[in-house]
Amino acid sequence: MKYQSIKGTRDVLPQEQKYWRFIEKTIFRITERFGFERVEPPIFEETALFLRGVGETTDIVEKEMYTFFDKGDNSLTLRPEYTAGVMRLYLQNGLHVAPKPVKLYSIGPIFRYERPQAGRFRQHTQFNVEVLGEQDPAVDLEVMSVAWQLYAELGFSGLAFQLNSTGCPHCRPAYIEQLKEYYYHHQEAICGDCKRRLERNPLRLLDCKVETCQEISAGAPVIHNHLCIECRDHFATLRLYLDTLKRPYRINHRLVRGLDYYTKTVFEVWVEGIGSQNAMCGGGRYDGLIEQLGGKPTPGIGFGSGIERMILGMREQNIEPPELLRPFVFVAHIGQAADLKAIELIADLRDIGIAALMSFGNRSFKAQMREANRLGVDYAVILGDEEMVNQTATVKNLSTGEQQSLLFDQIVPMMIRMQKHTDKKS
């Protein structure tokens, strides 16, 4: 084989489309219900936006971006996440003067140069939600509720939020100092990765999977004891809201997120069985980001959810999305006159909105019937020598096997009636 898809990318084939259709429809329905509006920034932006927006020392920026120079020698990058681009869109298009909060969502591809594995690709699709301009914890709840409602309506069971607060610029630095202080005392015992984390991203120390490191992290200072009053209140109120709605969640002190811009609330939703990358969505609050990108101080919160991971999760939980609609009529034809009539007939049917197909080439009648069956149509219209002589068509109901003879003029009206009939049933 000469060409194959790029590492970490995947083809979406017809048999998977029912998942995509189902998920997209559910997203549209829920975002509408929650009062979100769709925006789509371009797939690539100037590289500097992501450097600033995501954070220069994050893994995403340091090693995962698809960056290239265009013919004008501009450094461009395929978006490695949605938020920075949406913030740019928000500022550039004057949405910051719109009534607050501004509630936006997007659906599209994300690119990261990573080693692929189960549930992780170099191109994946994200459903992304952002709410700008309101710091009320009720907005945190609202954003989390979009994710919750989506997974519930997709049919997932047994899900729970992982929840944490990572503090804010007022309280986090002091906490991180204490954390580092603690770890400096255990420097001998921690793994190589953790030694790096200690210098570069101390919060991640808590998340290490190495057993000996976990023992150490178990004794580490907990951020909740170091939150400032504002952060503590915010977190407590959010918990009150979640409790009121009886939404299951687990406080996870180890939940930290890799992007620099998060403040206060961070959350994920996990699903088992899709490999070790089990987070179906991840997000949190980023109250300082807009300011960092040149806007006025504006609170914000959002999350991204991987559609490929939703599909993996649905498969794992044996959730069957609705089947796509099948074509309604198939026209089988034998002989030249019938061929012309078939072409005319499917055109007429399609004009009035009925999904009609015909056989191509000179296939045997039997083969055409097999094809009709395989396509899953409700009716086969048969045009053969006899029919052409009588100016009639034989219409066969493929589920009951009944068939009747109709004048040409009666076929389209009959199909309209039959389709309405089946619509009612389903």
> Could you say which residues in the range 221-250 bind RNA, by CB under 7 A?
none
Please say which residue, 114 or 136, places its beta carbon nearer to RNA. Answer: 114
3-class DSSP state for residue 71?
coil
Please say which residue, 28 or 113, places its beta carbon nearer to RNA. Answer: 113
Residue choice 95, 311, 380, 415 for contact with RNA (CB under 7 A) = 380
Residues 108-167 binding RNA (CB under 7 A) are: 110, 112, 114-122, 124, 126
Min dist CB 72 to RNA, Å, is: 28
| CB atoms inside a 10 Å sphere around CB 412 | 18
Min dist CB 153 to RNA, Å, is: 18
Residues 387-406 binding RNA (CB under 7 A) are: 387, 394, 396, 398-399, 401, 403
Residue choice 7, 29, 170, 421 for contact with RNA (CB under 7 A) = 7
Residue at 76: amino acid letter: L
Query: If binding is defined by CB under 7 A, does position 342 make contact with RNA?
Result: no
Give CA angle at 271 (167, 126), nearest 5°. 70
Residue at 350: amino acid letter: R
Spatial separation of the C-alpha atoms in residues 397 and 385, rounded to whole Å? 20
Residue choice 279, 301, 349, 354 for contact with RNA (CB under 7 A) = 279
- What H or E segment, with its residue span, contains residue 371? helix 365-375
Spatial separation of the C-alpha atoms in residues 28 and 31, rounded to whole Å? 5
Please say which residue, 237 or 258, places its beta carbon nearer to RNA. Answer: 258
Residue choice 180, 239, 247, 363 for contact with RNA (CB under 7 A) = 363
Query: If binding is defined by CB under 7 A, does position 295 make contact with RNA?
Result: no
Residue choice 134, 140, 142, 207 for contact with RNA (CB under 7 A) = 207
The per-residue DSSP string of 183-232 comes to HHTTTTTS-HHHHHHHHH-GGGGGG--SHHHHHHHHTSPPGGGG--HHHH
Q: Could you tell me if 81 and 54 are in contact, meaning their C-beta atoms sit under 8 angstroms apart?
A: yes
Min dist CB 258 to RNA, Å, is: 1
Please say which residue, 134 or 308, places its beta carbon nearer to RNA. Answer: 308
Residue choice 103, 186, 257, 285 for contact with RNA (CB under 7 A) = 257
Spatial separation of the C-alpha atoms in residues 181 and 197, rounded to whole Å? 13
Spatial separation of the C-alpha atoms in residues 365 and 382, rounded to whole Å? 9
Query: If binding is defined by CB under 7 A, does position 168 make contact with RNA?
Result: no
Query: If binding is defined by CB under 7 A, does position 281 make contact with RNA?
Result: yes
Min dist CB 400 to RNA, Å, is: 7
Exposure string of 81-93, with b = 16+ CB inside 10 Å and e = fewer, is bbbbbbbbbbbee
Spatial separation of the C-alpha atoms in residues 254 and 275, rounded to whole Å? 20
Min dist CB 10 to RNA, Å, is: 7
Please say which residue, 146 or 380, places its beta carbon nearer to RNA. Answer: 380
Query: If binding is defined by CB under 7 A, does position 58 make contact with RNA?
Result: yes
